[in-house]
């Protein structure tokens, strides 16, 4: 059974997604619920040398990164920082990917579709009270036109 993270508004959070707009959206959502210490990376190259990565309590990793597989990065994190809570997220939610991520040590897997709702549901599952229970304006819930597919 995965241990639930004890997060506070000052907990360090790292987001890794090679799509800058998605990394920023995830960061914005986490800030809306009250987290303050959030760092985003759109490249894996500099990630492994950054002190912020070592300090983070929670890491979000996109499955489909251009430079490497998010699953390979997950395995690296769990080997180097076994205590870190890693959440994978992707537009691709096939059962085999979700199972592999969980087997490699991810404590969660979120669909990028309706990311606002999915992040909040994860925090609720972990019984983490939002530092700020902000209501998300409807205009922020849909970033892309409904006809535009979400692509990693």
**Interval 46-76: pLDDT, tens:** 776 777 788 899 999 999 999 999 999 999 9
Q: What gap in Å lies between CA 79 and CA 129, rounded to an integer?
A: 30
Cβ(15)–Cβ(38) below 8 Å: yes
Q: What stretches of the chain show up as alpha helix (H) in DSSP?
A: 20-32, 51-55, 70-80, 95-103, 115-125, 138-141
Cβ(90)–Cβ(62) below 8 Å: yes
Q: Of 61-65, 137-141, 146-150, where does mean pLDDT reach its minimum?
A: 146-150
pLDDT digits (tens, 9 = 90+) for 80-119: 999 999 999 999 999 999 999 999 999 999 999 999 999 9
pLDDT digits (tens, 9 = 90+) for 14-51: 999 999 999 999 999 999 999 999 999 999 887 767 77
Give the bridge partners for 15, in sequence order. Answer: 40, 60
Instruction: Using DSSP, state whether 87 is helix, strand or coil.
Output: strand
Nearest to 123 by CA among 34, 38, 52: 34
pTM: 0.82
- 135 vs 34, more confident: 34
Domains, the chain, with CATH or none: 17-131 (3.40.50.2300)
Nearest to 29 by CA among 99, 108, 103, 112: 112
Residue 4 confidence (pLDDT): 63
């Amino acid at each position: 059974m995965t241990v639930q993270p004890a997060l506070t508004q000052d907990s360090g959070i790292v987001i890794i997604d090679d799509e800058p707009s998605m990394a920023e959206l995830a960061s914005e959502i986490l800030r809306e619920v009250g987290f303050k210490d959030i760092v985003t990376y759109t490249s894996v190259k500099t990630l492994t040398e950054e002190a912020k990565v070592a300090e983070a309590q929670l890491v979000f990793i996109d499955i489909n990164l251009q430079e490497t597989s998010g699953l390979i990065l997950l395995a690296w994190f769990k080997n180097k920082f076994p205590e870190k809570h890693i959440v994978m997220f992707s537009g691709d939610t096939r059962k085999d990917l979700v199972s592999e991520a969980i087997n490699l040590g991810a404590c969660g897997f979120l669909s990028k579709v309706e990311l606002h709702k999915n992040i909040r549901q994860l925090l609720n599952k972990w019984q983490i009270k939002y530092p700020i229970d902000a209501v998300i304006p409807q205009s922020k819930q849909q970033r892309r036109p409904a006809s535009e597919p979400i692509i990693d």
